[in-house]
Amino acid sequence: MLRVAGARLLDDRHRSGVHDVLDADPVAACMVASRIEAVGLDPWRLGGELWSHGAPADGLCFSGANLVPLRGDRAALRAFADRARRAGRVCSSLVGRAELVLPLWEELAPGWGPAREIRPDQPLMTLERPPMIAPDARVRPVRISELDRYLPAAVAMFTEEVGVDPREGDGGAGYRARVAELITSGRAFARFHDGEVVFKAEIGALSRTVGQIQGVWVDPAWRGHGLGTAGTSAVAVALAGMGRCASLYVNAFNAPARAAYQRVGFVQVARFATVLF
């Protein structure tokens, strides 16, 4: 064990305790669970570190491209913040249950702030029954040969949602590779019209029991015609066929999107928060 400021680094010897925590909160933990189930806890394969404060059931946090607190009281969050400060910021965002993210950000803000944006209220929603909106039969998995036609829609969605162009820094090579990976793994879905994407969505994280839908986007010229709800229904049906429950989270201020997901049948089960850097 490596102990730093009350937080310890976990490895594959601790998988049982970690899985107990993840299984107890499968929807909120989906992003982290999907990685751990695939590669284990070794930091090199995981692409980050998993920390605990005491036993995993007492405090658990993932540190990688995102900093994701999964469980812990205020003492655990202080320990995670101290370790994160010592390591230096390597994440692009802090995301997870609001009751964990916001207190953790209070601890980190003096050294890491100011944030580019704080989104404190993001309903985390699940679909636990068949969709109430008929799925769009023209929404299908994207083929890798369609990458160049799909990529502009993915860039438009990311820029609209996050507020930055994902091609900045490396000319788009990294983002293109990530989108290509989603396509080759069968987790990018779209409806095409005359060769152009008019609806898109992806399954961003896929654990044993939950699939998290992300990147839902409709071409502005096609909005207001039900493509978003029917397309999201189609992705949810695809997840059901994989034996997974569909989930997603949305900004509380995005009233049209929240209403659309509610029409599909999604219900709120928790509240996420995101701090963007």
pLDDT for residue 113 = 83
Q: How far apart are CA 215 and CA 202, in angstroms?
A: 6
pLDDT-above-90 percentage for the chain: 90
**What are the two backbone dihedrals, phi and then psi, of residue 121, each rounded to the nearest 5 degrees?**
-135, 100
Instruction: Point out which residues pair with 212 in neighbouring strands.
Output: 205, 247
pLDDT for residue 4 = 44
Convert the pLDDT of each residue in 22-52 to its tens digit: 999 999 999 999 999 999 999 989 999 999 9
Give 55's pLDDT tier (boundaries 50, 70, 90). very high
pLDDT for residue 6 = 83
Mean pLDDT, the chain, whole residue set? 95
- Grouping H, G, I as helix, E, B as strand and the rest as coil, residue 175 is helix
Structure tokens at 37: 């189930």
* Neighbouring residues of 172: CB distance < 8 A, sequence distance ≥ 6: 155, 166
Convert the pLDDT of each residue in 136-195 to its tens digit: 999 999 999 999 999 999 999 999 988 889 998 888 899 999 999 999 999 999 999 999
Query: Other CB atoms closer than 10 Å to residue 86's CB: what's the count?
Result: 10
Give the E-state strand segments of 102-166 in sequence order.
Answer: 117-127, 140-141
Q: How far apart are CA 80 and CA 69, in angstroms?
A: 8
| Mean pLDDT confidence for 199-220 | 97
**What are the two backbone dihedrals, phi and then psi, of residue 207, each rounded to the nearest 5 degrees?**
-95, -175
Cα angle 25-23-78, degrees, rounded to a multiple of 5: 55
pLDDT for residue 2 = 41
Locus of tokens 């999907």: 34
Query: pTM, whole model, 2 decimals?
Result: 0.92
pLDDT at 229 over 80: yes
Convert the pLDDT of each residue in 3-19 to its tens digit: 444 899 999 889 999 99
Convert the pLDDT of each residue in 87-123 to its tens digit: 899 999 999 999 999 999 999 999 998 999 999 999 9
